Structure 1
């Protein structure tokens, strides 16, 4: 059954709304959300009728498009999914989808050999594996790293749209250290993923406005704000994180040379998977190798180095050696205090 672009936008919008279980969705809320989405993607500002959205919901509930979405009405007013993990994006692909995916995969594979398109390799592999598993009705042969319980993913599209449209957003946020949540205006500049967690870099609107990085899994609410968007005029977003592991960084923070020794048994792992793109081998002997990387000192760096345990020894700078030693003393004390 052919489906026009506007209908697909509405289905996707309804699906995103019903996945957001932090809010209760009435039919009027869904109508408004669909109208906003059509205007954003198509530039059409005629609105969406009540009958259209009701028909969309019935279509999503049916198996005509293969969705069979478990949409229910709670308290005779609020729409939601009875299965909190459901999404139409998880639905099996039909033949038309498979054909399109195959064509896209074939197109992308033409670029795999070019250095400028090395980032496409994983995308192509994922597509090919998806196509293979769908065609053969068998298990995938590639298992990519994922975290099904990851929080905050529902904010990615909202924040991305705000960044593209250069709109300020109002964020309700509670860090792990804060006793309670706070709400503030924020201009986002860059979404970044690090180890399956998502972050947004931007500027908080205050008198002492400053650049900050927020973890999406600590966000409780996001709404478009009427305050003027504050343009990024100081940061090179393409290189901002080049001198650090992770995302903990302050503008103006300087990198330094971090030197560390890794024993002979584990040095090959560090060579084949460098800690940072600046990694160099300074020297080696039968006991192991000495490496260096040029990065800023932050929490993620300490955690990465501590993860090697006795297989690694940090040699410099002096302040980092002191911090690593302090962490190891605390670790040893934790074990000694728990002895029976």
Structure 2
């Protein structure tokens, strides 16, 4: 892309010149007109030629030239073409296609179909024809998981600051309850999606699993803006989704057996993980700054036999009791 602060202005004007098939201009004529229109002190014909080359190569503009007497004029072969109608260049379009491929690989977002259609239309306008390729991106997903149908309406409600009414049923009860929710955030944990919200029934932030929602519809109640949490900070010291607003992170230390040490180093349990000490036998002492919640306990329990919780002492004893209960 030409490195010039006036390039965008020149590009707009050059686009106008090239669209005027009835009165096409030469490079000299374009250069002279640009100097006047953009109030430039000077402009070289070579610069205009490079601008046209960029439009042709990077934005796939159908630029042609022909002789009219002694004049060599430049124009669009397609009079309907305009760079203003296609605000992305080829490289940006390829990047967009990559993003769509990644989203489509998740197989849980209906939005991917709409994005694919948009990219396809842009490719048609750009005259780009890419053959369909087999997917070479895979995520661990479960297409049959309930609740994904609520992702889009909840997303729209968050964006539009709208209130929703949901019918919800927990795993441990047959009773269905209705809640008026003010949604603030959609969060994923282990292939399950949750809506983080405020509910009219109580103060404080609440989370609902999308797969436990049985019904969802709009509510006419006024939306309560999020003044309670910063989503980035709220889950910064959390594994999973469960926490209370008053919860504080604790220093957690675990000793990892030699066979699991490499795994922990290359696949940290959390971004706060630090290696405090490496022992002669290959075991390591890890430290975390985390809120103790259900998901943390479940995660530590999955490594039973390979780790030993050193701190907090109470959590270590709790994990020992849980292991005994399993045995």
TM above 0.5, yes or no, is yes
Counterpart in the other structure of 1:145: 140
Counterpart in the other structure of 2:209: 215
Counterpart in the other structure of 2:241: 247
Q: TM-score, normalised by structure 1?
A: 0.59
**How many Å apart are 1:140 and its aligned residue?**
3.0
1:281 and 2:275 matched: yes
Counterpart in the other structure of 1:295: 290
Query: CA 1:107–1:139 in 2, change beyond 3 Å: closer, same or farther?
Result: closer
What CA distance in whole angstroms lies between the structure 1 residues aligned with 2:91 and 2:164? 38
1:268 and 2:262 matched: yes
Counterpart in the other structure of 1:43: none
Q: Which runs of 5+ in 2 are unaligned?
A: 1-87, 106-115, 120-128
Query: CA 1:307–1:123 in 2, change beyond 3 Å: closer, same or farther?
Result: farther
What SS does structure 2 have at the residue aligned with 1:200?
strand
Q: TM-score, normalised by structure 2?
A: 0.61
1:294-327 Cα offsets, whole Å, 9 max, x none, are: 0000011011111112111111102211221111
Equivalent runs, 1:110-259 vs 2, <5 Å: 123=99, 126=102, 139-206=134-201, 208-259=202-253
What SS does structure 2 have at the residue aligned with 1:309?
coil
**How many Å apart are 1:276 and its aligned residue?**
0.6
* Residue pair 1:280, 1:292 contacting (<8 A) in 2 also: yes
* Residue pair 2:184, 2:196 contacting (<8 A) in 1 also: yes
Counterpart in the other structure of 2:320: 325
* Residue pair 1:105, 1:127 contacting (<8 A) in 2 also: no
Q: Which runs of 5+ in 1 are unaligned?
A: 1-99, 110-121, 333-340
Of 94, 100, 104 in structure 2, the residue corresponding to residue 106 of structure 1 is 94
1:103-132 Cα offsets, whole Å, 9 max, x none, are: 6552359xxxxxxxxxxxx8477379999x
**How many Å apart are 1:179 and its aligned residue?**
2.9
1:238-263 Cα offsets, whole Å, 9 max, x none, are: 22111110001111200001100111
What CA distance in whole angstroms lies between the structure 2 residues aligned with 1:127 and 1:254? 34
**How many Å apart are 1:143 and its aligned residue?**
2.4
What CA distance in whole angstroms lies between the structure 2 residues aligned with 1:144 and 1:251? 32
**How many Å apart are 1:216 and its aligned residue?**
0.4
What CA distance in whole angstroms lies between the structure 1 residues aligned with 2:228 and 2:266? 35
* Residue pair 2:204, 2:245 contacting (<8 A) in 1 also: no
**How many Å apart are 1:231 and its aligned residue?**
1.3
**How many Å apart are 1:135 and its aligned residue?**
6.3
**How many Å apart are 1:280 and its aligned residue?**
0.3
**How many Å apart are 1:156 and its aligned residue?**
0.6
Aligned residues: 218
1:143-168 Cα offsets, whole Å, 9 max, x none, are: 22211221100001111111111111
Query: CA 1:317–1:105 in 2, change beyond 3 Å: closer, same or farther?
Result: farther
